[in-house]
């Protein structure tokens, strides 16, 4: 007689995070039901179209034990015109899914938020912690903070456990954003003007994110129905140190030269790259002691996570 596997519905299953989280869940004995916008031809997938306040989740949630909500509206070129888009997907879409999940008897809902609910930088301050009042940056960070607030209220009225994860920059094979740009520059041997930066930053490998999701699903807190966790690799490094580690993982030598950080920051802002300015020059440190106190430990080091990222990228 075959063992009945627990079922996890994963949104964003075909995206960067999903391409790592889905195999990790499968290896751990979960039966994964990918929720996709359009048919991908994968086993057990369920096509739900766009995520929003009117999405029909009934068939997707039938028999589901846990939901891992990875999907989100992350980047939009004309952000100032996208308030409703972020709200429909990241806030109302998330809360609609969570309500339908609770009604369907789902036991655990995991929501991937962002450290941007705290802001872009903690320069001159202590590392961010879960007890800090949210001070979100931009439409994306604000939408995630609003979704968190709605989930907290929902947890008070249902029996479904809700875990919120606030990660910093997540790196890994097939990542988007600044990481692949930086990896490509290192691979090409391009000189990079970051040698004078003396910041401290946390990063998160997609392997460590996947392992925490698995650990949280397997070790729910019996005393609380709603918990927030800041999550990161164990190491804190400066931007030039991160580039050196990335170069080493790529089998290259880092080519760094120094430009005063204030000059570099001004240049990046003039180029319209505020995201790169925020992500590479300022400090962003996280207090991850709460996640560690659950018994979870990072599965890979920064060096190993970067090696996995670039080796898979080159394969």
Whether the CB-CB separation of 55 and 96 falls below 8 Å is answered with yes
175: Cβ contacts below 8 Å, ≥ 6 apart: 16, 206, 309
Distance CA 24, CA 217 (A): 12
Phi-psi region of 202 (alpha: psi -120 to 50; beta: other; left: phi over 0): beta
- What is the chain's percent helix, strand, coil content, to nearest 5? 40, 15, 45
Catalytic pick from 76, 140, 171, 215?
Answer: 140
In the residue annotation, 171 being an active-site residue is answered as no
Distance CA 38, CA 96 (A): 20
Determine which helix (DSSP H) or strand (DSSP E) holds 269, and give its type and residue range.
helix 261-270
Give the catalytic positions in this structure. 140
């Amino acid at each position: 007689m075959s063992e009945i596997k627990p079922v996890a519905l994963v949104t964003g299953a075909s995206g960067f995070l999903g391409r790592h989280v889905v195999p990790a869940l499968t290896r751990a004995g979960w039966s994964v039901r990918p929720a996709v916008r359009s048919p991908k031809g994968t086993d057990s997938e369920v096509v739900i179209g766009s995520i929003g306040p009117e999405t029909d989740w009934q068939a997707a949630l039938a028999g589901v034990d846990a939901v891992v909500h990875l999907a989100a509206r992350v980047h939009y070129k004309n952000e100032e015109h996208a308030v409703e888009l972020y709200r429909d997907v990241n806030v109302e879409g998330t809360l609609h899914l969570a309500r339908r999940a609770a009604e369907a008897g789902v036991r655990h809902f995991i929501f991937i938020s962002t450290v941007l609910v705290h802001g872009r930088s903690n320069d001159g301050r202590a590392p961010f912690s879960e007890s800090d009042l949210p001070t979100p940056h931009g439409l994306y960070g604000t939408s995630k903070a609003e979704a968190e607030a709605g989930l907290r209220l929902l947890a008070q009225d249902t029996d479904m456990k809700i875990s919120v994860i606030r990660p910093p920059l997540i790196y890994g094979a097939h990542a988007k954003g600044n990481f692949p740009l930086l990896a490509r520059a290192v691979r090409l041997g391009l000189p990079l003007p970051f040698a004078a930066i003396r910041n401290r930053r946390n990063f998160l490998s997609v392997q460590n994110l996947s392992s925490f999701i698995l650990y949280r699903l397997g070790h729910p807190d019996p005393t609380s129905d709603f918990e927030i966790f800041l999550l990161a690799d164990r190491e804190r490094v400066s931007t030039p140190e991160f580039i050196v580690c990335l170069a080493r993982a790529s089998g290259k030598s880092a080519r760094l030269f120094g430009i005063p950080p204030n000059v570099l920051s001004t240049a990046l802002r003039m180029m319209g790259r505020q995201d790169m300015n925020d992500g590479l020059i300022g400090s962003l440190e996280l207090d991850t002691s709460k996640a560690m106190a659950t018994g979870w430990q990072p599965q890979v080091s920064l060096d190993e996570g970067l090696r996995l990222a670039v080796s898979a990228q080159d394969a």
